[in-house]
Structure 1
Amino acid sequence: MADYTPQLPDEDTGLYEHHSFIADKGQAPLRIDKWLMNKVENATRNKIQAAAKEGNIYVNDQPVKSNYKVKPLDVIKVLFEHPPFENLLVGEDLPLDIVYEDDTLLVVNKPAGMVVHPGHGNYSGTLINALIYHFDNLPKNSSDRPGLVHRIDKDTSGLLVVAKTEHAMAHLSKQFKDKTSEREYVAIVWGNMEEDEGTIEGNIGRHPKNRLQNTVYMDDDADKGKPAVTHYKVLERLTYVTLVSCKLETGRTHQIRVHMKHIGHTLFNDERYGGERILKGTTFTKYKQFVDNCFKVLPRQALHAKTLGFEHPETGKIMQFNTPVPDDMQACIEKWRGYASHLEH
């Protein structure tokens, strides 16, 4: 069982640091409650204002009110009396589907529905809880998360590489940063894609109105968000949906989901991005029932991290792993195949 030392409170304040940020050089004056809304996942304006009122928000080591205007290079910290829940990591004996393992790293096939790391509302049952139960002394990444080199969304299934040594963590993280790792996903998207293959480019950042979504910023707003590139290829056309392969050049949060929606092909049953509605097809009641049955078979977004490739940090050998499309997604594909062939006859 891995042993984690709890974070110690700050000597001066006696409080625990939950978040720490440095404002950009070009930061325009902006109220700190608004500024933090865009930085802290799942934070509401009310919660931030309450934290400021309690004296939990510090700028340059001084507590500030919620109307404080953030300036360039301000050091902003959110401190509370209790340690962050993420630091109270408890190992849990959860099954791990380990595809490959050696002394340096392991590759796991994550099932859909499993959260990768603890966060607001998910403090147990995550991949990290399982990893620290099964492995001792995993190295921490830059966000203090044991073993994690990259992540995939809760309802996306597929392959992840986990570092077991500090060297592996640094080496693998650099490969992801330098875009030399290989990541291929399989997705079912709404609509019949016009092109057989293509590349989607567009900066991805937090959606200004819906904080649970990300969006693509183009043209006048192109300076917002972070650069993102997705290469796609049609694998199979199934009338009102298309089976596609997506290769990631960058790894932004929700990248494939956001890019596909951006080009008008939202992922099938991707509730967060509107794919749980019938976006293409006919108005027949029978068709609606067919799609509802597909949603029941695949109660999540149709996305699977199928292929993962990287250079082994110790041997320098190029490693590549593949995992079959899971049963729920395969069943959905079969249903659409049946529907498509039925239409052809």
Structure 2
Amino acid sequence: MHQDIDLQEQEEKELFEHLRIEVEKGLTMIRLDKFLMNRVENTSRNRIQNAIDAGNVRVNDNIVKASYKVKPLDVVTIVLPDPPRDTEVYPEDIPLDIIYEDDDLLIVNKMPGMVVHPGFNNFTGTLVNALTFHLNQLPTLPGNTGRPGLVHRIDKDTSGLLVIAKSEWAMTFLAKQFFEHSITRKYVALVWGDLQEDGTVTGFIGRDPKDRRVMSMHEDDTKGKWSVTHYKVLERLGFVTLIECELETGRTHQIRTHMKSIGHPLFNDASYGGDRIVKGTVFSKYKQFVDNCFQLLPRQALHAKNLGFIHPISKERVEFEMPLPKDFTLALDKWRAYVAEKLVNP
């Protein structure tokens, strides 16, 4: 009997997402449905509304309507049915930019805009769908169902290098290097502001309590994981700076979160405040210039340029490098031209 109860509880955990949110003191009163849209990741307005209508959302243990105004110190609890996930990955004939391949691994240059693996609202058109078409079988580590071959990932709108394991041995060998932080990963980023010197950003990264779709810095390991990013100035361009970031750890949105935390969000990073004029003048001509740059680079200015690791078979260190993609170079050249003109006509 006890085993049956345990199995039932386990099935419930797999089928439902249980959340408890304590409203912070400084919150301005806001409708419950809007509040939950900002706090619950991987959801939709319809899903939230259905949960409220079904009585699966309570405020201070009371069932309330969507129009209820959430106020400071309220305790909101919600039970959401997890959207059904088809763990089978379907092959799709999507072009891939493979820059290296052998019997055990391949190196892919991911284009900006491509999601790496299937997930909420993105079950097709991903890098993994493309890989399963081009390769007969990819290994999967325990707990990594639906993400065959992947030992790391980069964000949808980040371009650059990914290593894909083609055998179980390669996957285990590479995963160990990622766990031990011995893999070299260097990114190029364009950030807002004039960074005067090289530096290191450290801290605990976890989900932002105000918006679960993004990450933020936290005081201790109860709400986040330890993270380290080293950055080096490559080129100063007045109101923006081109930098190289080397990851010592690999947390979700690590560079984006770290650079925002020190007041230098990535250029055109909509999730972290970089899609507006952070530094510069108030003149309309400058605003038009920045908007033009945003159009040339319609994503965060982040590119995974270098990847280095010990090969699982040869045991020799291998290094790969991918130049900046066209959208990044176009925006960068426009900034260079702007700075050059300012020097001539200050």
Partners in 2 of 1:174 and 1:52 — Cα distance?
44
Aligned-pair CA distance for 1:123: 1.3
> Partner residue of 2:326?
327
Partners in 2 of 1:335 and 1:18 — Cα distance?
51
Partners in 1 of 2:151 and 2:42 — Cα distance?
23
**Structure 2 residue aligned with 1:32, among 12, 18, 31?**
18
SS at 1:300's partner residue? coil
Partners in 1 of 2:285 and 2:274 — Cα distance?
19
1:63-102 map, 5 Å: 84-85=85-86, 87-102=87-102
Letter in 1 for 2:206: G
Partners in 2 of 1:253 and 1:162 — Cα distance?
18
SS at 2:19's partner residue? helix
Superposed CA RMSD in Å reads 3.1
Aligned-pair CA distance for 1:43: 4.1
> Partner residue of 2:111?
111
SS at 1:140's partner residue? coil
Letter in 2 for 1:289: Q
With normalisation by structure 2, the TM-score equals 0.79
**Once the two structures are superposed, what CA deviation does each residue of 1:266-322 show, in whole Å capped at 9, x if it has no partner?**
000000111000000011111001000000000000000000001001110101000
Change (3 A) 1:78 1:166: farther
> Partner residue of 1:64?
none
Confirm whether residue 120 of structure 1 aligns to residue 120 of structure 2.
yes
Identity of aligned residues (%): 56
> Partner residue of 1:202?
203
Aligned-pair CA distance for 1:151: 0.2
**Once the two structures are superposed, what CA deviation does each residue of 1:57-116 show, in whole Å capped at 9, x if it has no partner?**
xxxxxxxxxx7xxxxxxxxx9987x9523x132100000100110000000000000000
**Once the two structures are superposed, what CA deviation does each residue of 1:175-227 show, in whole Å capped at 9, x if it has no partner?**
011000000000000000132x1110011000000111100113xx4542000
> Partner residue of 1:187?
189
Letter in 2 for 1:274: G
Partners in 2 of 1:168 and 1:127 — Cα distance?
19
> Partner residue of 2:162?
160
Residues 18 and 80, structure 2, Cα contact 8 Å, conserved in 1: no
SS at 2:113's partner residue? coil
Partners in 2 of 1:261 and 1:204 — Cα distance?
12
Partners in 1 of 2:151 and 2:234 — Cα distance?
29
1:50-61 map, 5 Å: none
Residue correspondences, number:
300
> Partner residue of 2:152?
150
Partners in 1 of 2:287 and 2:295 — Cα distance?
12
Aligned-pair CA distance for 1:241: 0.2
SS at 2:169's partner residue? helix
Letter in 2 for 1:238: L
Residues 94 and 130, structure 2, Cα contact 8 Å, conserved in 1: yes
SS at 1:123's partner residue? coil
Residues 187 and 245, structure 1, Cα contact 8 Å, conserved in 2: yes
With normalisation by structure 1, the TM-score equals 0.79
Which stretch shifts more, 326-335 or 133-142? 133-142
Residues 16 and 83, structure 1, Cα contact 8 Å, conserved in 2: no
1:208-219 map, 5 Å: 208-218=209-219
Partners in 1 of 2:48 and 2:298 — Cα distance?
34
Residues 128 and 146, structure 1, Cα contact 8 Å, conserved in 2: yes
Change (3 A) 1:94 1:18: farther
Aligned-pair CA distance for 1:341: 1.1
> Partner residue of 2:32?
none
SS at 2:256's partner residue? helix
Unaligned runs of 5+ in 1: 1-11, 22-30, 57-66, 68-76
Residues 17 and 84, structure 1, Cα contact 8 Å, conserved in 2: no
SS at 2:178's partner residue? helix
Change (3 A) 1:17 1:132: farther
> Partner residue of 1:178?
180
Residues 112 and 158, structure 2, Cα contact 8 Å, conserved in 1: yes
Partners in 2 of 1:17 and 1:180 — Cα distance?
38
Change (3 A) 1:40 1:271: closer
1:153-302 map, 5 Å: 153-195=155-197, 197-218=198-219, 221=220, 223-302=222-301
